[in-house]
């Protein structure tokens, strides 16, 4: 299976050995961030620094204030600061390509705390009226238009052969946040879904168009969550738990709204990327086959998404079972990439990568994704190199 490693531009730029070192892992491709969220990242081998703090979500290439794409628009990409100066993406891409690697872009979309801080009205609003500034509501027309155009611009960078679109769907409560204190209550699948339901004006209108009174829905959501705040167990696993909590009719109507909203955004973004890209440009989505899951790997309908995109990247660190629903879809071709964390300090198991990859292949995986070549220790990278040599 072809393997690709995730990389940030700051892992490469200023380190003359970085591109060669990544190529020596045995990967054929890199997935290089071109639009990314705020983060604090280790750079354990860089000759000039050990910590990079990306203070806000930004594009990692120069923005053009005269670009007609963004003229007159309130929502537009943020430029990076000192953590990715100039054409940071382009500089890193050139070095990686010179090392013999195919370069694909890595584009983070509906995950942007800076946007939520500057424009609180764009954020998901839960049933209590709390805003999630990291989570742009993908139902809002202006936000959808911004995400579609950002996808096309950030995906189709010079020399890139393809892209991977992350967070192209709903985001919810769960979010790695500074000094996070939200883990005291075990919400389970049902609670996470209820806390992800948005009540911004666009979503309220969407519920209403389906015959679901948003005020009554809010009352039902809060009532269903109340036992969980007192420590009661979840209403039950899977979608059946949501139906039990809200009632089958209300649950079905929220599902119809959220599925259609995400599906049409994904269709529009993929179409925009393809319209901007050269022939043969590959478009993959980071995805989860459980439709109501939210976050970096948003839930999708496997058959639908594989009819829209060229494939998916599926989280497999906790087990490769999420590959199966995608593998069961009848298709002539398409990428089914198994994504493994290979950073031991982040819960990865690089020492078992060879066996894990073999199991993933048995479940239908056609490619590997390795998170993350810049963050991993030397020992982790040694294990990755050994595993890839055994393919």
Residue 163 lies in a domain: yes
Instruction: Say how far apart CA 202 and CA 367 lie, in whole Å.
Output: 38
DSSP class of residue 113 equals H
Question: Which pLDDT value is given to residue 8?
Answer: 98
Residue 367 lies in a domain: yes
Question: Which pLDDT value is given to residue 96?
Answer: 98
DSSP per-residue letters across 179-193: T---TTS--HHHHHH
Residue 285 lies in a domain: yes
Instruction: Encode pLDDT of 261-298 as tens digits.
Output: 999 999 999 999 999 999 999 999 999 999 999 999 99
> Which structural domain range is residue 63 located in?
2-182+280-389
Number of domains in the chain: 1
Question: Which pLDDT value is given to residue 166?
Answer: 98
Residue 330 lies in a domain: yes
Torsion of CA 76, 133, 194, 239, to 10 degrees: 50
Question: CATH number of the domain that 142 lies in?
Answer: 3.20.20.80
Residue 287 lies in a domain: yes
Question: Which pLDDT value is given to residue 270?
Answer: 98
Question: Which pLDDT value is given to residue 306?
Answer: 97
Question: Which pLDDT value is given to residue 180?
Answer: 61
Residue 53 lies in a domain: yes
Residue 225 lies in a domain: no
Instruction: Say how far apart CA 327 and CA 344 lie, in whole Å.
Output: 28
> Which residues of the chain carry a pLDDT beneath 50?
none
Question: Which residues 6+ apart lie within 8 Å of 284 measured at CB?
Answer: 162, 163, 164, 165, 309, 310, 311, 312, 313, 335, 337
Q: Let me know if 390 is exposed, middle or buried by CB neighbors in 10 A (0-12, 13-18, 19+).
A: exposed
Checking DSSP bridges between strand 51-54 and strand 58-59, what pairing results, if any? unpaired
Q: Where are the alpha helices (DSSP H) in the chain?
A: 9-12, 18-23, 88-98, 113-118, 141-155, 188-196, 201-209, 214-229, 238-246, 248-276, 302-308, 323-327, 353-362, 378-389
% residues pLDDT > 70 (the chain): 97
Instruction: Encode pLDDT of 41-78 as tens digits.
Output: 999 999 999 999 999 999 999 987 678 889 889 999 99
The dihedrals phi and psi of 312, each to the nearest 5 degrees, come to: -135, 155
Instruction: Say how far apart CA 6 and CA 296 lie, in whole Å.
Output: 14
Question: Which pLDDT value is given to residue 183?
Answer: 56
Question: Which pLDDT value is given to residue 175?
Answer: 74
Question: Which pLDDT value is given to residue 331?
Answer: 80
């Amino acid at each position: 299976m072809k393997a690709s490693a995730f990389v940030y531009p700051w892992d490469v730029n200023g380190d003359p050995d970085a591109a060669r070192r990544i190529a020596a892992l045995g990967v054929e491709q890199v997935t290089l961030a071109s639009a990314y969220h705020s983060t604090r990242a280790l750079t354990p081998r860089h000759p000039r620094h050990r910590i990079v703090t990306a203070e806000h979500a930004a594009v990692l290439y120069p923005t053009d204030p005269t670009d007609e794409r963004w003229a007159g628009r309130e929502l537009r990409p943020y430029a990076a600061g000192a953590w990715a100066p100039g054409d940071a993406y382009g500089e890193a891409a050139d070095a990686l390509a010179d090392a013999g690697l195919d370069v694909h872009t890595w584009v983070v979309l509906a995950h942007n705390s800076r946007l939520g801080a500057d424009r609180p009205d764009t954020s998901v609003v839960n049933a209590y009226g709390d805003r999630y500034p990291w989570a742009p509501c993908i139902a809002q027309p202006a936000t959808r238009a911004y995400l579609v155009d950002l996808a096309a611009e950030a995906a189709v960078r010079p020399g890139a052969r393809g892209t991977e679109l992350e967070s192209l769907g709903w985001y919810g409560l769960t979010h790695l946040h500074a000094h996070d204190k939200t883990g005291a209550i075990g919400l389970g699948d049902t609670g996470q879904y209820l806390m992800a339901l948005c009540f911004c004006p666009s979503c309220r209108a969407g519920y209403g168009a389906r015959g679901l009174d948003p005020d009554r829905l809010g009352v039902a959501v809060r009532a269903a969550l109340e036992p969980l705040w007192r420590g009661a167990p979840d209403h039950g696993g899977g979608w059946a738990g949501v139906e039990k909590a809200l009632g089958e009719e209300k649950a079905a109507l929220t599902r119809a709204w959220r599925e259609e909203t995400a599906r049409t955004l994904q269709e529009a973004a993929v179409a925009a990327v393809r319209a901007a890209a050269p022939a043969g440009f590959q478009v993959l989505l980071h995805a989860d086959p459980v439709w109501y899951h939210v976050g970096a790997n948003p839930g999708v309908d496997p058959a639908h998404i594989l009819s829209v995109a060229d494939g998916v990247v599926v989280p497999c660190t906790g087990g490769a079972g999420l590959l199966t629903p995608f593998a069961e879809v009848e298709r002539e071709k398409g990428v089914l990439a198994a994504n493994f964390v290979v950073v031991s300090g982040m819960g990865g198991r690089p020492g078992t990568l060879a066996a894990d990859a073999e199991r993933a292949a048995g479940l239908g995986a056609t490619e590997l994704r390795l998170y993350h070549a810049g963050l991993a220790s030397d020992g982790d990278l040694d294990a990755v190199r050994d595993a890839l040599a055994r393919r």
